[in-house]
Amino acid sequence: MSKYDEDRMDRAKQKVRSVGKQQVPKNSELSDDDSRIKKMEADMIKISADMKELMQLLMSSQQSVLN
């Protein structure tokens, strides 16, 4: 077996080992992630409402310039 083939096999073994080691998140980490997601969702709702208001202001501003 050539040195190249040996290196390839070693890399494959390392990949298998690294993929096999999956950490299970703790309950506190899950609740932190959940609260962060809820905060992001609330922020997105607010941003969406702000965008809608800005679009309305832009439309009314453009109409007043045209008139």
Q: What size, in residues, is the chain?
A: 67
- Percent of all residues in the chain with a pLDDT value above 90, rounded to a whole number: 37
DSSP label at residue 58: H
Q: Please give the Cα distance from 15 to 22 (Å, whole number).
A: 13
User: 16-39: per-residue pLDDT in tens?
Assistant: 555 556 666 666 666 788 889 999
pTM for the full predicted model: 0.49
